[in-house]
Amino acid sequence: MKGLKMTIAKHTINTILDTLGENDFVNVIAYTDYVRYVEPCFKGTLVQADLDNREVRPSPTTHTHTHTHAHAHTHTHTLTHTHTHTLSHTHTGRGSMCNQAIMLITDGAMEDFESVFEEFNWPERRVRVFTYLIGREMTFAQNTKWIACNNKGFYTHISTLADVQENVMEYLHVLSRPMVINHDHDIIWTEAYMDTLFTTKAQSLLLMTSVAMPVFSKKQETLSHGILLGVVGTDIPLMEVMKLAPRYMLGAHGYAFLITNNGYILAHPDLRPLYKDGKKLKPKPNYNSVDLSEVEWEDTEEKLRTSMVRGETGFIRQSIRASVDKKVRSQSEQLVAPCRLRGGQTK
């Protein structure tokens, strides 16, 4: 694969990566005569699709030629490789334990690779396979479509760059069908982000979070189809959420903080997401992926962080290290905290 086909393929990969978030795990494999990972630092495993890891993606200037037509055995090796890693991720209990999928981006499949799927994916079909046929050539469309249809996936033909965005989004509708049919109205909170809040008097740059939930079609005739209509949500300034913290219970030097289910800080007195650029305040790079362990220095094995990420309730008393003398040195202090998924009290 080269030229326009390679450009479309890379754009497809980047578009898929943009649909992922902190609760997803991903890796990208390229294959020519052999199988290789696009980013060697990920060491051949699925990594969290947070902002830092998503920034490591195929560059448009990278010179990669993928000869899918000439090397059908490499296709087999690649599918075997991805199935093995995806299933091992599940068996070891890592990841979000939800949907598992392989996205096969190719300009043609000479075989249907039935033996690979028979060994690794049938009859349960736990791993969905989505196929993206790149280019105007339709010679291998039947095999590519067969792979997707027999593994609970979706087949898409992408012939131009303009087709990418719309066709990539189709996989989201397929993955959402079981949830839609069961009417699971999961509520999702996003990581922190900076946005401008406009009021009648002024405007200011604030840390925000969004809460969102899916909207399903309730028409009787389409109920079994599981049609996702879209998402409804609203932005919430985090300072408004922090006002709900029980300040009167915290003591003279107490404070409250919020973290996500991945341990990233939503709000914390020691989180400073902005810096001055001349007269303007600008967000720091990756300010919304600051881990709690970078701010609360626990003397033991991250008990507080682990308990909060797991959504446990209860109280913990432990030693932490806190900076003093304008952050020149640190000292040990006592911490007492109730553990909740998105909040906690310290000291």
How confident is the model at residue 272, as a pLDDT? 87
Closest C-alpha among 211, 220, 221 to residue 241: 211
Specify the pTM: 0.76
139 vs 10, more confident? 10
- pLDDT, tens digit, for every residue of 106-132? 988 777 788 888 888 889 998 999 999
4-182 CATH: 3.40.50.410
Average pLDDT, the chain: 80
User: What is residue 63's predicted lDDT score, i.e. its pLDDT?
Assistant: 47
The pLDDT, as a whole number, for residue 113 is 84
With contact defined as beta carbons under 8 Å apart, do 108 and 2 qualify?
A: no
Nearest to 104 by CA among 240, 255, 173, 1: 1
Mean pLDDT calculated for residue range 95-103: 78
- Extents of the domains making up the chain: 4-182, 188-237, 240-346
